[in-house]
Amino acid sequence: MINNLNILLPEIFLTISIFSALMIGVFIKNSFNLIFNLSSIIILVTIAIIFNNSNSSEKIFLDSFSRDAYSNFFKILILISSLFVLNSSKAFIIDSKLGKFEYPIIILLSILGMFFMVSSNDIILFYLGLELQSLSLYILASIDRDNLRSSESGIKYFVLSALSSGLLLYGCSLLYGFTGSTNFDLIANELNKENIGAVFAMVFILVGLAFKVSAVPFHMWTPDVYEGAPTSITSYFAVVPKVAGLAVLIKFMHIPFSNILLEWQTIIIFISLASMILGAVAAIGQTNIKRLLAYSSIGHIGYALAGVATGVISGYESAIVYIAIYVIMNIGAFSCLYLLKKDGEYKEKISDLSGISKKHPILAISFLVILFSLAGIPPLGGFFAKFYVFTAVLEQKMYALAIIGLLTTVISAFYYLKIIKTIYFDDSVITFDAPKNKFAQLSILISCITLLTFFLYPSVLNNVAESLFIY
């Protein structure tokens, strides 16, 4: 029993700390700063606990909760990215008068939900984790409640997400009905092509998961929520839930649905292609950076899904490497947005970036590195992410997917170039305030250095990803 608790230790610690922090917040006035710093410490301690926790694969509570290298890796990725997202956005949160102590607590709650998602080995636990995460995200999307656009985006996200959760739950119940079990391993044994009802269930579950990672055609909410929500929330949305969503998606494909590979493969290929194409084409006309990054993230999820679509371990690994590099790039990109401050107001139009290379050369060159990396131009990190995915795709002889994917990178290069053009070629318009947000600068620095030096050791992440699938 004690041993079991040890396996669950990160979740237990997180839960207790969240409620303690909540209590502190309730009883101490103006405790935003305190709670915020406390949350950062909680995240750091949780990281330490997971690092100390063994990576050996163990399942507890009737095999419904599994702790293994795979879930531990994603938990650490979620925690580290949350830490960066939170801290680099702190100044923004205070400036935008969102400094309520609930803010970091809700973020921690969503992290807890994601923990259960990536660790779940049972559809019930999975659904509970997903709902905990989603409910926290609804609140976060509309946290700026006096702002019309933020409230609108929150409502929009809530309605659509609730619908997709409903579909997902329907799929889960069908799956239980047709296989007689809620456990991933048992479902995997029961499932086969003849089990039409279960294949049907798979489609519903896929729809729900595709919504969570904002893949086309379930992406409608993404641009509006990204634009409407405060930037600090957007950066969280763009990074952390994507990681958790992809982790669960890969797990579903790898364990319960491994026997109906051909059935789900077609769907994922379509979703992946559609995301890549829409992400490339729809972003061209955007004028708002956040909206553009929304479409760009749709495109990036398409590439990661192309790795998943291969249906083999090497493909999943490439998708994991892709999402890790995506996280690094997006943390950098959003941290840049926190520095676009003029007279206390944050700018988010592309035209506001006009000619910043003259007045803010360091910020401009960081943008340059991150944008070229997002476009996948070598020798930056983003290139290797795409390289691994397409290597895996071509290994499975999926030529059409690879060629279309590579061509969309050319189209998407166009809008990244457009921003670089605005930064470097256009005349200077705005001089931004001297950057005070030290942590955002640190995140940008780390992100840029990682992307620039990635080519020295390009197989670091691969080696990590390889170790995740050894049971």
Partner 1 sequence: MNFPILTTLIFLPLISSFFIFLSKGQKNDNSAIYISLFSSLATFILSLFVWFSLDLSSSDFQFLEEKSWINDFIKFKLGVDGISILFIVLTTFITPICIISCVNSVKTRVKEFLIAILILETFMLGVFCSLDLVVFYLFFEAGLIPMFLIIGVWGGPKRVYSAFKFFLFTLLGSVLMLAAIIFIYWLTGTTDITQIYEIKIPKEYQNILWLAFFSSFAVKMPMWPVHTWLPDAHVEAPTAGSVILAAILLKMAGYGFLRFSLPMFPLASEYFTPLIFTLSIIAIIYTSLVALMQDDMKKLIAYSSVAHMGYVTLGIFTFTKQGIEGSIFQMISHGLISAALFLCVGVVYDRLHSRMISTYGGLVNYLPKYSFLFILFALAGLGLPGTSGFLGEFLVLTGAFQKNYLIAMIATFGVVLGAAYMLWLSKRVIFGNTNNSEIKTLKDVNKLETLMLVSLGLLVIYFGFYPVPLMDTVNFSVDNLINNYEIAIKSKGLN
* Nearest distance from C-beta of residue 314 to partner 1, angstroms: 10
By beta-carbon proximity to partner 1, the closer residue of 237 and 372 is 372
* Nearest distance from C-beta of residue 377 to partner 1, angstroms: 6
Residues 6+ apart with CB under 8 A from 275: 215, 216, 219, 298, 299, 301, 302, 305
* Nearest distance from C-beta of residue 446 to partner 1, angstroms: 18
Helices marked H in 282-398: 289-309, 313-338, 356-359, 361-375, 381-395
Are 56 and 3 contacting, i.e. CB atoms less than 8 angstroms apart? no
Cα 244 to chain center, whole Å? 6
* Nearest distance from C-beta of residue 455 to partner 1, angstroms: 7
By beta-carbon proximity to partner 1, the closer residue of 61 and 455 is 455
Residue from 33, 160, 8, 27 nearest 90 by CA:
33
What totals of helices (H) and strands (E) does the chain contain, helices first? 21, 4
By beta-carbon proximity to partner 1, the closer residue of 135 and 321 is 321
Element (H, E) at 341: strand 341-342
* Nearest distance from C-beta of residue 276 to partner 1, angstroms: 13
By beta-carbon proximity to partner 1, the closer residue of 47 and 394 is 394
Residue from 302, 394, 299, 374 nearest 333 by CA:
374
Residue whose pair of structure tokens reads 């050319």 in the numeric block = 410
* Nearest distance from C-beta of residue 424 to partner 1, angstroms: 5
* Nearest distance from C-beta of residue 354 to partner 1, angstroms: 13
Query: Which DSSP state fits 431?
Result: -
By beta-carbon proximity to partner 1, the closer residue of 124 and 407 is 407
Q: How many CB atoms lie within 10 A of CB 126?
A: 25
Residues 6+ apart with CB under 8 A from 38: 17, 21, 24, 104
* Nearest distance from C-beta of residue 361 to partner 1, angstroms: 8
In whole angstroms, what is the distance from residue 331 CA to residue 183 CA?
Answer: 35
By beta-carbon proximity to partner 1, the closer residue of 169 and 417 is 417
In whole angstroms, what is the distance from residue 346 CA to residue 328 CA?
Answer: 22
Q: Which positions lie near partner 1, rule CB under 8 A?
A: 357, 361, 372, 377-379, 383-384, 387, 390-391, 394-395, 402-403, 406-407, 409-410, 413-414, 417, 420-421, 424-425, 455, 458-459, 462-463
By beta-carbon proximity to partner 1, the closer residue of 217 and 361 is 361
Query: Which DSSP state fits 355?
Result: T
By beta-carbon proximity to partner 1, the closer residue of 51 and 455 is 455
In whole angstroms, what is the distance from residue 280 CA to residue 374 CA?
Answer: 12
